[in-house]
Amino acid sequence: MASIAAALRDGTPCVEIIEAFADVVVTGEPKLNACVGGSVDKAAMRARAAAIDAMLAEGKKLALACVPVVVKDNVDVAGQPTSGGVAALRKSVAAVDAPVWAAVEAAGAVLVCKGNMPDFAANGLNTVSSRSGQTLSAYNRSRVPYGSSGGPAVAISASYGVLGIGTDTDGSIQNPSSAASLVGLRGTLGLVPTLGILPLSIFSDVAGPMTRTVADAAVAYQVMVNASLASRGSQDYVGALKADALAGARIGYLSSVLARVPGKQVPDPAVEALACAALDALDKAGARVTTIAPNAPVVTALVSIISSVSPAALGLCGDSSFKAAVNSFLATRPRDEGMRSVSEVYASGEFLHGLGGVTALLENAIAAPPPSSGNVSAACAGYVAAQKEARQLLVEYLDSHGLAAFGFPTENQPPPKLPGIPPPTGWFGTQLVSAFTGLPAMVMPMGATLGYDTPVGWTFLGRPYDEATLFGLAYGFELAHPSRVVPPSP
């Protein structure tokens, strides 16, 4: 973003800047398939860039002036389909922008394309959809880009744009950012509005930025948070970017992420080496790192709380709320422009079969009773209570130990080979901690394993509504441990 702003100040028109990005998309898309339909509307990008040039000439101040953006295909963009990766929803045209996209566009952004995603965002390990097929990593096309925000992540890593707007239900920003060597933020649950976003779980859905740098993420997140009139985002995220933010900061290192548990967790030695290098960088930058052992009471208690939610109750709550939320979302679409219910999507047969569990998701949702039924209400109440208990447990630990945040690798192994389902034996991702508790998680590049082509991320997990602290820590980490891996040209 700083380079674009500097070019604009030096007299380079936005039209010229955007055409350069569009050319990259045209070159890369036959190989990566990060955009829905694998194409880009260069004429629309040029027209938008010309409009921004006119606004800048009039003296208008735009926080995201001429910033090219890839928007995940579950976010409403007026006049375009919001398919959520589902072939049956390819005609589900949005009448108005989702507030998060409206805010970003009003700040001067240029839409590059809608980013590919798995059907209904239901696949966190890989980005393959019935509408647009398989998205490939810009680093190693034999390995997964993770999901479900894999399209935007791959697009930004391949220089299609500077900002990706993703969503995260259970790692869908965190894991793709890790695999794409990006900064990705799953913010506090409810801080960024999810109105106008095709839902997966009303209890966990979050929208957030995916960028190359912490500074870009801070600018974008401030704009995104301001999309909500009821937000608590009064913090100055850009102002938190201080070079000495790590000096004296206390970080709780969750060593359980790389614990060797026979049959369950098998961390890769290369990831362990990257984690050691990250911890060394934190130490040299002045952070005070406290190791939290795998058998520490806080870890044991967290696992116990998460395990207390039975799969049956979680499934009942999730299936019922998914059906109700998706039906409500689709009901806003004109009848002649697409499906209007989960049942209609299922009856069409136009969704991903076999891979990713979409068939079971739809069948279970159709069979589920309404949210108002006693069994569903009880199941959802138990889930929400467990979420709250886990959140309080971690916040109280941070407070009682004087910690600014927790820190840990985002996964314990490199991105697995395609199709990634089921994951390799012993693979373990940390996305559930943030997704379950609703606490904000910032993913940072930590380096790459197997040589050059398999990035893995580092995560900072903090208190609710305290993203400013995470931005400060991440900025300090970026300066102390510059480990973003640039992919080869597509």
Can you give the residue range of the structural domain that contains 8? Answer: 2-240
1-16 pLDDT tens trace:
999 999 999 999 999 9
19-58 pLDDT tens trace:
999 999 999 999 999 999 887 899 999 999 999 999 999 9
Which amino acid would we find at residue 399? D
183-218 pLDDT tens trace:
999 999 999 999 999 999 999 999 999 999 999 999
The verdict on residue 39 lying in a domain is: yes
The verdict on residue 255 lying in a domain is: no
411-448 pLDDT tens trace:
999 999 999 999 999 999 999 999 999 999 999 999 99
**CATH code, domain carrying 187:** 3.90.1300.10
Which amino acid would we find at residue 67? V
CB-neighbour burial class of residue 421 (10 A; exposed 0-12, middle 13-18, buried 19+): middle
Q: Which of 83, 157, 172, 204 is catalytic?
A: 172
Q: Which of 179, 170, 269, 163 is nearest to 219 (CA)?
A: 163
The verdict on residue 217 lying in a domain is: yes
Mean pLDDT computed over 482-489? 84
Q: Which of 130, 148, 177, 204 is catalytic?
A: 148
Of 66-75, 164-173, 306-315, the least confident: 306-315
Q: Which residue would you say has higher pLDDT here, 63 or 336?
A: 63
Distances from the Cα of 455 to the Cα of 126, 149, 180, 200, 390, angstroms: 15, 16, 6, 27, 30
- What is the pLDDT, as a whole number, of residue 339? 87
- Annotated active-site residue 388? The verdict is no
Give the SS3 label for residue 457.
strand
The verdict on residue 278 lying in a domain is: no
pLDDT at 59 over 70: yes
Helix, strand, coil fractions of the chain, as percent rounded to 5: 45, 15, 40
Band of pLDDT at residue 229, cut at 50, 70 and 90: low
The verdict on residue 490 lying in a domain is: no
- What is the pLDDT, as a whole number, of residue 338? 73
Alpha-carbon torsion angle 178, 218, 398, 284, nearest 10: 70
The structural domain count of the chain equals 1
The verdict on residue 336 lying in a domain is: no
Q: What mean pLDDT is reported for the chain?
A: 95
The verdict on residue 378 lying in a domain is: no
The verdict on residue 424 lying in a domain is: no
132-160 pLDDT tens trace:
999 999 999 999 999 999 999 999 999 99
| Residues 6 or more apart in contact with residue 362 via CB below 8 angstroms | 342, 345, 346, 351
Band of pLDDT at residue 90, cut at 50, 70 and 90: very high
- Annotated active-site residue 264? The verdict is no
- Annotated active-site residue 148? The verdict is yes
pLDDT at 373 over 80: yes
pLDDT at 334 over 90: no
